[in-house]
Structures are given as structure tokens and as C-alpha cells.
Amino acid sequence: MAIAIIIGVGLGMLTYRHPLPSSLATTTTSAFLTIPSIALLGILIGPLGLGTANVLFALVLYALLPITRNTIVGLSGVDSSIVDAGRGMGMSRSRLLWRVSVPLAWPVILSGIRVSTQMIIGIAAIGAYVSGPGLGNEIFHGLARFGAVNSLNQVLIGTGAIVIIALLFDLAYIVIDRLTTSRGIRA
């Protein structure tokens, strides 16, 4: 997740001021999203083999779109008169970005991160299919011996745990949002 945030936000920051690269960035990242997860994991067996690296790589690709797109939308949505004023005061581009644009776009960026997280928690489960780690193993084991004793329970436990984790993450993001968004722009 952290990797996806860094790449996604970074990509957004680099491109938001230029229409062509930024639409290129959104198109590419959304193309990743259209690949079915099982297929992508399967394709990646080629270069990355089975296991954690494969799953991690796939998850980063999937997480990119909402983060990149929200970063671009958030940053370019900052009121032009505010950017103008900042430049007029003699703020350098990077200072303006970090002190003004990013804080103002932060709620939008954060909601992109939040959507990404939800999405890849679901996809992560499928990672068990290529011998990745995680709760997906419970589900796949359960499904594999479906009909046997406790198999249904195993599937349910796996699924339930994933839902709970997703909810906990969501809760965490709400808290982070409260803590990191300036009171001056909170809705």
C-alpha cells in the first residue's frame, strides 16, 4: 500500500500541471484495473514466479489508479487565485506544492487512498491462488475441499476476517482524515 501511495501520489504530482502526461497517467493506471485479477496474477507468474513478490506487484498496480487520479484531480482543483497569490508572494513551485496545494488537495488524495485500500484488500485474497500470503489461503483451502467438515466455516471465517479488516482500515482512514486535514477546509 505504501508503495502504491508513493508511486501514485508522486505520479500525480509530477503530471497534474500538464494535461497530456496526466491523462496518460490516468489512462495507463486505469488500464491495469481492467485486467481481471486472476489473469494478472497468472501473467505475472512469468517474470515474478509464485509467491509474495507476484502478489505485491499486482496489488500496487491495482492501487495506482484511484490514488493517481485523485491526486491529479485534487491538485488541479486547487483554486487558481490561490496558486496565483502564492506565486505572487514569492513561494517557489515546490514550496507552493507542499505548503499549499497538497494540504488543500489532501482530503481528495486521502479518499483515493481509501478507495484503493478497500479494493486491494479484496484482491489480496485472490493472491493465495499464486501462493501469496494471507487470508485468501483460508478461503481457497475451504473451497478446495468444499463439502468436507468445516470447509464452509473456513471460507466464512476467511471472508469475514477480510471484511472486518477492510472496515478497520476504513475506520482508520476516517481518523487519519480528521487528524491531518486542516480545520480551515474541513467540510
Partner 1 sequence: MPDTALDSRISSEPTTSDSATSLAPAAVPAGTGGATIQLLDVTKSYPGQVAPAVDHITLEIAAGEIVVLVGPSGCGKTTTMKMINRLIEPTSGQILIGGTDVLKLDADEHRRNVGYVIQQTGLFPHMRIAENIGLVPRMLGWSKRRTADRVEELLEVVGLPPGEYARRYPRELSGGQQQRVGVARALAADPPVMLMDEPFGATDPITRDRLQNEFLRLQREMGKTIVFVTHDFDEALKMGDRIAVLGPQSVIAQFDTPEAILAAPANDYVSSFIGSGGQLKRLGLMPLRDADLRPVPARKDLSQITIDASLHDALDLMLESGQDKVLVAADESGEGEVFGSIRLDDLMAAIADDSADDPSDDPTAKLDPSAGS
Nearer to partner 1, 104 or 126 (CB): 104
Nearest approach, Cβ of residue 165 and partner 1 (Å): 32
- In the complex, the smallest distance separating the C-beta of residue 81 from partner 1, rounded to whole angstroms, is 4
Q: What is the CA radius of gyration of the chain?
A: 20
Give the nearest distance from C-beta 109 to partner 1 in angstroms: 14
Residue (47 or 90) nearer to partner 1, CB: 90
Q: 75 with 26: CB under 8 angstroms?
A: no
Long-range contacts made by residues 126-131, C-beta under 8 angstroms, separation at least 24? 126/37, 126/38, 126/41, 127/41, 127/54, 127/55, 127/58, 127/59, 129/38, 129/41, 130/41, 130/42, 130/44, 130/45, 130/50, 130/51, 130/54, 130/55, 131/50, 131/51
Nearer to partner 1 by Cβ, of 37 and 71: the residue is: 71
Work out how close the CB of 185 gets to partner 1 at its nearest, in angstroms, rounded to a whole number. Answer: 5
Smallest gap from Cβ 180 to partner 1, in A, equals 11
Give the number of other CB atoms < 10 A from CB of residue 72.
29
The binding site for partner 1 (CB under 8 A) comprises: 79, 81-82, 84-92, 95, 100, 103-104, 182-185
- The residue among 86 and 127 lying less far from partner 1, judged by its C-beta, is 86
Nearer to partner 1, 77 or 133 (CB): 77
